[in-house]
Amino acid sequence: MNVISGHLVCPVCSLALTQQGRSLSCQQNHCYDQAKQGYWNLLLVQRKRSKDPGDNPQMVAARTHFLDQHCYQPLADKVCTEVRQALTDKPNARLLDMGCGEGYYTAQVEKTLSGMQVEMIGLDISKHAIKAACRRSQSIHWLVASGAQMPVPEQSQDLLLVMFSRLMPAAFAKVVKPAGLLLLAWPAQDHLLELRQSIYEEIKVSEYDPTAELAALFSCEKVDTLRFEFSLKSAEDIQALLDMTPHSQRISAETTAKLLAAVPLNLTFHVNLGFFRRL
């Protein structure tokens, strides 16, 4: 059994959780049972903003299909290389992937760290995403939980991985060790530009940079930019890309049909990867 005692805290009272079989409990007798798929649900009802928060089953299935075509593999490779380098010579390191989704990047990082003593947690607010993540690995600790109140001890993580998720500086700083690393990915201005040009009459140019928002809690060591072209070779792949993004809510049936017929669809990948050290 993949034991997680000592790595989690109770989302109600913040006391340490201890595992007994397929249950977690704290000294206040708050108890949480492990789901049959292997994950732990530590998302309190009062912290849900909707009945079923996060990605729905359609979005999870779409993201799983799209990512499994490995169009974003260069990013995964880059993340894996940087994580391994950052955690080398750190025995018993702890890594948390916040907003891990269906676990595509988390599982590849785990394989890269094979042979190293690293305790890994994948956390997402979507129960559907975490169920899918369980199919990628049974040795990662998968949690349904809020990224704003992560149920891990304060200053416990050597590395926090955040791939395209909401920026929450205070929540990130609370769980990262002093001098620990935040590895953050966000879209650069030309990411999926061709797709956006097909959907919108006017394209908003994004100059987003999280460095200023993080500056009081993290120092920016560097920002690497990955840019390359890739091609979607089937209508199924194009539909999956649409379904995994907010664009699917804003696109007409006519435009969808045109995009699905535009095979192959050539697109630009343009993403920033920032390295931030906890002050």
Q: Of 204-213, 223-232, 264-273, where does mean pLDDT reach its minimum?
A: 204-213
How far apart are the C-alpha atoms of 227 and 206, rounded to whole Å? 16
pLDDT in tens, 210-243: 999 999 999 999 999 999 999 999 999 999 999 9
Given the DSSP bridges, would you call strands 40-41 and 18-20 parallel, antiparallel or unpaired?
Answer: unpaired
Q: How confident is the model at residue 205 (pLDDT cuts 50, 70, 90)?
A: confident
Q: Does 104 appear as a known binding residue?
A: no
Name the pLDDT band for 206 (thresholds 50, 70, 90). confident
Contact yes or no for 210/217 (Cβ under 8 A): no
149-154 contacts at long range (C-beta below 8 A, 24 or more positions apart): 149/11, 149/47, 150/96, 150/98, 150/123, 150/174, 150/175, 151/8, 151/9, 151/10, 151/11, 151/17, 151/42, 152/7, 152/8, 152/9, 152/96, 152/121, 153/7, 153/9, 153/16
Beta-carbon-side half-sphere exposure of residue 22 (alpha carbons within 13 Å): 7
**3 state DSSP class of 57:** helix
Backbone φ and ψ for 99, nearest 5 degrees, come out as 75, 45
| Strands ordered across the beta sheet of 18-20 | 18-20, 23-25, 31-33
Dist CA 40 CA 270 (whole Å): 34
How far is Cα 199 from Cα 251, in angstroms, rounded to an integer? 6
Question: Is there a binding annotation on residue 99?
Answer: no
pLDDT tens readout for residues 118-169: 999 999 999 999 999 999 999 999 999 999 999 999 999 999 999 999 999 9
103 is in an annotated binding site: yes
Q: What is the CA radius of gyration of the chain?
A: 19
Confidence of residue 117 (pLDDT cuts 50, 70, 90): very high
pLDDT of 59-110, one tens digit each?
999 999 999 999 999 999 999 999 999 999 999 999 999 999 999 999 999 9
Fill in the amino acid letter for 39: Y
pLDDT of residue 167: 98
Tell me which H or E stretch contains 175. Answer: helix 169-175
Residue 80 belongs to what H/E stretch? helix 73-87
Domains of the chain: 1-34 (no CATH), 35-278 (3.40.50.150)
Give 2's pLDDT tier (boundaries 50, 70, 90): low
CA distance 42 to 24: 10
- CB within 8 A of 166, min separation 6: which ones? 99, 147
The token duo for 185 is 């990915």
- What pLDDT score was predicted for residue 1? 47
Portion of the chain with pLDDT greater than 90, in percent: 89
- 26 carries a ligand binding annotation: yes
- The partner residues of 18 in beta bridges, in order of sequence, read 25
Strands, E, within 47-167: which ranges? 93-98, 118-124, 141-144, 157-163
pLDDT digits (tens, 9 = 90+) for 27-57: 999 999 999 999 999 999 877 777 889 999 9
Adjacent-strand bridge partners of 20 = 23
- Check whether 191 is labelled as a binding-site residue: yes
